Amino acid sequence: MEAAFRGRKSYTTQNVMAAVDFDLRFTFVIAGWERTAHDASILRDALERPNGLRVPEGKFYLVDAGYGAKPDFLPPYRGVRYHLNEWGSNPVQNEKELFNLRHSSLRVTVERAFGSLKRRFKILDDAIPFFPFPTQVEVVIAACIIHNWVIEDGGDDLIIFENDDLHSITYQTSTYGQATEYAFMVNFRQELANAMWVDRHQYYSNTS
């Protein structure tokens, strides 16, 4: 069982799934899953809990590719450039690249939130493995709660801003296996990407 909690580090680690708003606040956190757990399994658990994750009506969450396209959850296209540092000076070539670029530009908020959390609580990277596992889970939840309180109280210099360097942040996602994709959200994503592509061409046509 312990092997399932081991990642690339020598000690055991847990898998944490969180929902983040654009103010860098954690709106939902589930901790305690083994490191090798599939993202889709953790999401299913979060949705099935009595007080679990709820998606506001008419909204959807941006998620990474490990979750797959499913109702209320919109991932990027697989096999298409995604991370901001992959673009450089190369312009987008098609609607899928444009969608992924904008998806990444928005979802970087998650990296900023986790980066700020780890800046504030070094225990999450350093001392936490020395606590009993139930305590490790509680430490993660408590850290997120305090992080939210600090932001609501006005924030501080530990918050990572949009123009700060994110390359030093250790932000990982589990992508074991492939999540099932639902035709409805796959089609919705394609329609959204097509609309973005048309709007982009119209914009440049009007400004040229």
Give the model confidence (pLDDT) of 170-185 as tens digits. 444 444 445 677 899 9
Cα–chain-centroid distance for residue 186? 19
Say how many domains are in the chain. 1
**17 strand-pairing partners:** 30
**15 strand-pairing partners:** 33
Q: Which of 190, 162, 194, 199 is nearest to 75 (CA)?
A: 190
pLDDT at 73: 93
Domain that holds residue 178: 2-207
Reported as a single tens digit per residue, the pLDDT across 92-143 is 899 999 999 999 989 889 989 999 999 899 888 765 567 788 888 899 999 9
Reported as a single tens digit per residue, the pLDDT across 33-83 is 887 788 888 898 999 999 999 998 989 999 988 888 888 999 999 989 988
Angle separating helix axes 183-207 and 95-120, nearest 10 degrees:
100
Distance CA 164, CA 161 (A): 5
Cα–chain-centroid distance for residue 69? 14
Full-model pTM = 0.80
Q: CB neighbours of 109 closer than 8 A, spacing ≥ 6? A: 20, 21, 22, 24
